Chain A
């Protein structure tokens, strides 16, 4: 049974710092891994999608890596801004077409 774990559960950093969010999963037989952002009381916004054959994806200040064999992904945020404050969710799509979510990392960027 696939399990997705995100560490840390919460993180506060000063504005301008670079930071890394971690995600691990137990079953490496995945189609892809997706990082989402969720603001309080809102829906999910897709940030980056990494296919199982890829090792990383970049979008602006965001970079996500995938090491399928070790069951790990990281989301790197460069030069953090207060607007980056949100909950970041990692999700893997299994071969049975279900996506399994981690519980998220609540990020707070201090102005």
Chain B
């Protein structure tokens, strides 16, 4: 079991471009979570998804950000028209079901220049 796989590990985008971050959960895990970590700040919840469903997106900015977890393939966090303030580490976590703890990926470090 390869664990939670995130790619790319590092992503550089110019202002106004799109960023697509991918997360493959652990085998057998149907719950996916995205978190953002800004420098010198804690991890902030963004969105919780199950296969083909967004369960809770209360932590995700209403504009420019979207997430999906299709029936086949990885979960995608998409940021359109990136701005410098989007520079952060984005972590994905997965869980097989409620109340079972979380396994985190190594993160994608997004830098907007």
Partner of B102, one of A34, A42, A51: A34
Q: B residues within 8 A CB of A31?
A: 98-99
B102-A101 in contact (CB<8A) = no
A64 at the interface (CB under 8 A from B): no
Which among A45, A49, A51, A89 is the interface contact of B43 at CB below 8 angstroms?
Answer: A89
Q: How large is the interface on B (under 10, 10 to 19, 20 to 34, 35 or more residues)?
A: 20 to 34
Interface size of A by Cβ–Cβ distance < 8 Å? Answer: 24
Residues of B within 8 A of A98 (CB): 33, 45, 48, 56, 59
Smallest CB-CB A-B distances: 10 pairs: A43-B106, A44-B104, A103-B42, A49-B101, A31-B99, A101-B43, A101-B42, A43-B107, A98-B45, A43-B104
| Total CB contacts across the A-B interface at under 8 A | 57
Report yes or no: A46 in contact with B56, Cβ–Cβ below 8 A.
Answer: no
Complex CA gap A26/B42 in Å reads 17
Instruction: Provide the bound-state CA to CA distance between A91 and B104, in Å.
Output: 13
CB distance from B60 to the nearest CB of A (A): 12
Does residue A73 face the partner (Cβ distance < 8 Å to B)?
Answer: no
22 chain-A/chain-B pairs, Cβ below 8 angstroms: A31-B99, A32-B101, A34-B102, A42-B106, A43-B91, A43-B106, A44-B43, A44-B91, A46-B102, A89-B43, A91-B102, A93-B99, A93-B101, A96-B56, A97-B48, A98-B33, A99-B33, A99-B93, A99-B102, A101-B35, A101-B42, A101-B43
Q: Select from chain B the residue with minimum beta-carbon distance to A49.
A: B101
Residue B12 interfacial (CB < 8 Å): no
- The reply on B63 being an interface residue by CB < 8 A is no
In the complex, chain A residues whose CB is within 8 Å of the CB of B59? 98
Q: Which residue of B lies closest to A4 (CB)?
A: B42
The verdict on A100 contacting chain B, using a C-beta distance below 8 Å, is yes
Which of the listed residues B41, B43, B93, B107 has the most CB atoms from chain A within 10 Å of its own CB?
A: B43
Among residues 56 to 111 in chain A, which have CB atoms less than 8 Å away from a CB atom of chain B? 89, 91, 93, 96-104
Asked whether A51 lies within 8 Å of B91 as measured between CB atoms, the reply is no
Residue B103 is within 8 A (CB to CB) of chain A in the complex: yes
Question: Which one of A46, A97, A101, A103 lies within 8 Å of B98 (CB-CB)?
Answer: A97
